[in-house]
Structure 1
Amino acid sequence: MNARPTPLRVLSRSDLADVPIGPAEVIRAVEEAYLALAAGDSDNPRKLSVAHPDGWSVAYAMLGRDGHRRVVAMKTSYKFDPHHDRSTKRYYTTITLYDDATGMPVAMMDCARVGALRTPAVSALLVRETARPGARSVLLIGTGTQGRNALPHLLAANPQLERLMLYGTHPEGLDAVNRELLHHHPRAELEIVDDPVAAARTADVILATAGPGTKVAIEAEDLQPGATVVLVGYGLAPSTLTAADRVIATSAEQMSLTGTDMAGPDGRLRRVDAELPQILSRRAVGRLGEDERIFVYNSGLVLTDIAVAHALATRAIEQGRGTEVPLWD
């Protein structure tokens, strides 16, 4: 038994909402996590899941060890969505961090902001490693949480992108994307497009972050030579994968689990040519030729959640945020 009680710091969504952290720092933390995994210093086992047989709910549990930060963490998520209606949907996700150097708990925290920052940072790295030389234009599809955070992170890693196009159907979402962009890049100009297919034909990079209700489905024939398409949510048709010259993923295993809706006419999912951790560690390459059309699948690894969560928790605790709970008294 411990000689003294070990409190647990609980950090709520509001505790974390305005903790300062910039896109470049998030990208650096995520890249460090991938490099540690590629070097064999970290562990990222396959996630566990359970689902209601009628599709009412789904839950995941993910365990990881970040050897770079010496942190062990467990992430859980639960989605209740019986009617596929925003008014009744419930989604909860948490992560609990432990210091693997001292054996002490760091924090248990809401994971909403972690995911909102981690995913666009991963997309930014994927584009950095796969965009053709001379790439200048990007089309962003979707104005939800991921869409709103996409461009600041993308530009932090790819400052050469200068034509920024956005397609969305919600005016408040379009405004939110523009506000977030200008917060980080006051001189940036955002071009709102009405025809996503026409815009796709001129884009070097396409980021598909729309929700499942989108009617947009960019086809392979809509892509120019050398284009990179990144699937985060929805907005791309399966042909962009099946007809791609090269396929990159954060994790081939995760893509095989969660990317089944992108299978070809034969019901099979195209194999992955290279994974991001190996590309970042220079054991593989993202692009082989300038005219290759590259399909990129961005799925989450808990190690990237750990990296961003640890950065946010460290700052929040330094600022005295959160509530200490004597859970193990």
Structure 2
Amino acid sequence: MSHINTSSPKIDNIICLNSSDLDSLRLGMSEIVDLLDQMFRQRANEWMVNPPKIFEHRSDTRLYSSMVSFAPSIGYASCKWQSGDADNPARGLPLIQGLLLLTEDQTGQPVAMMDSKWITGERTAAASALLAREQARKGASTLSILGCGLQARKHLEAMTTTLTTLERCVVYDIIPERAKAFKAEKQDNTALEIVVASSAKSCVTEGDIVVSGAPIVEHPKPVIEPAWVKPGCLGISIDYDASWCPQTVAAMDLVLTDDRGQLRDEQRKGHFEGVDQIHADLSELLVSNRARRSDDSQRILGYNLGIALEDLAVAAELYQRAVAGRIGTRVKF
């Protein structure tokens, strides 16, 4: 017989948190890396629900996605609705836009609505940094980034926060002005030397860690070839199958992902050609040491697809800080 707690109070107000509110909560990148580390370790041993995201293209450049999850140990459930449009930056709009709804797990009452762009930006970079902390070769000194939008900025922050051996950051964007703007903005705010590459190839070939952040499109035209990837390189795809050629994936010594189910779901839709084997997911790597780097010459590729449990772990912490600090706008519900 189930036991129902009848003493739970009714929640009359939802807290709305915009990007400025979330900034004011001062949840640092290193803290987010730790939150994700804890969540992935818990996921290996606890019941957490994380179905593959609903991810559909309206056109070749526009996508819509919905991501839901809940975890009793975290105490909350969440649903994130987002759009992405590769043409938006030219319109002066964010590439990613959306909202996250957070619900407490005891009675299922909604408690907060948040800017999902903020959460997506932070947790994506933190998940990449977590993978790099575990799988980058010893002494990795050069970070290469393809695409110079929000994620390039967040990944520079996350990687320099997490890895102490980095000395250079090489960047490339198909729009040269974006790469130049990135260097102008970030050079005085980082200890790393920032170099603008003349081509995607020259950017990738230098990288001990290569982060690909091209727009996710329905019909990708990947460019990273096997010969571009040097021994010991850790590749991190945050753009699904937009950048890494199938033959390059096949040439990797190890291939990992944050979530097997989500990758297989995309394969059923015709994506991720060339991914014949996933050696480990991030939980298996952290808890069981499965597919951990065994020597500094191995070439490793990680698909950081972004999962709802990452959103949930970060959103729950943000909500608790907002309640404690009385941050955000209360809306009667």
- Partner Cα distance (2:202, 2:56) in 1: 41
- Taking the TM superposition and a 5 Å limit, the aligned residue runs for 1:207-246 are 207-211=211-215, 217-233=223-239, 234-246=242-254
Q: Which residue of 2 aligns with 1:191?
A: 195
Q: 1:243 to 1:86 in 2, by over 3 A?
A: same
Deviations along 1:222-250, one digit per CA (max 9) or x if unpaired, are: 11122111111243333221221211111
2:168 to 163, 166, 181: 163
Q: 1:216 to 1:106 in 2, by over 3 A?
A: same
Contact 1:12 1:322 in 2 (8 A): yes
Contact 1:50 1:59 in 2 (8 A): yes
Residue aligned with 1:73, SS:
strand
- Taking the TM superposition and a 5 Å limit, the aligned residue runs for 1:127-166 are 127-166=132-171
Answering whether residue 118 of structure 2 is matched by residue 108 of structure 1, we say: no
Contact 2:147 2:213 in 1 (8 A): yes
The letter of the residue matching 2:213 is T
Contact 1:5 1:326 in 2 (8 A): no
- Partner Cα distance (1:314, 1:23) in 2: 17
- Partner Cα distance (1:28, 1:73) in 2: 20
Question: How far off its partner does 1:138 sit?
Answer: 1.8
The letter of the residue matching 2:319 is A
- Partner Cα distance (2:248, 2:206) in 1: 16
Question: How far off its partner does 1:219 sit?
Answer: 0.7
More deviation in 147-156 or 43-52? Answer: 43-52
The letter of the residue matching 1:250 is D
Question: How far off its partner does 1:174 sit?
Answer: 4.0
Answering whether residue 255 of structure 2 is matched by residue 247 of structure 1, we say: yes
Contact 2:170 2:196 in 1 (8 A): yes
Question: How far off its partner does 1:164 sit?
Answer: 2.0
Q: 1:59 to 1:165 in 2, by over 3 A?
A: closer
RMSD: 3.2
The letter of the residue matching 2:283 is P
| Number of aligned positions between the proteins | 319
Q: 1:313 to 1:175 in 2, by over 3 A?
A: farther
- Partner Cα distance (1:11, 1:37) in 2: 27
In structure 1, list runs of 5 or more residues that go unmatched.
none
Contact 1:166 1:191 in 2 (8 A): yes
The letter of the residue matching 1:154 is M
Q: 1:139 to 1:3 in 2, by over 3 A?
A: closer
Answering whether residue 291 of structure 2 is matched by residue 281 of structure 1, we say: no
- Partner Cα distance (1:25, 1:91) in 2: 23
Q: Which residue of 1 aligns with 2:328?
A: 322
Contact 1:47 1:63 in 2 (8 A): yes
- Partner Cα distance (1:60, 1:215) in 2: 21
**After TM superposition, which residue ranges in structure 1, 4 or more long, deviate above 6 angstroms?**
54-57, 213-216
The letter of the residue matching 2:287 is S
Contact 2:259 2:282 in 1 (8 A): yes
In structure 2, list runs of 5 or more residues that go unmatched.
1-5
Answering whether residue 208 of structure 2 is matched by residue 204 of structure 1, we say: yes
Contact 1:143 1:174 in 2 (8 A): no
Q: 1:86 to 1:108 in 2, by over 3 A?
A: same
Question: How far off its partner does 1:132 sit?
Answer: 2.1
Deviations along 1:89-133, one digit per CA (max 9) or x if unpaired, are: 885422111233576543111211000001011111111222223
- Partner Cα distance (1:306, 1:112) in 2: 14
Q: 1:35 to 1:212 in 2, by over 3 A?
A: closer
Question: How far off its partner does 1:196 sit?
Answer: 3.3
Answering whether residue 74 of structure 2 is matched by residue 69 of structure 1, we say: yes
- Partner Cα distance (2:244, 2:212) in 1: 7
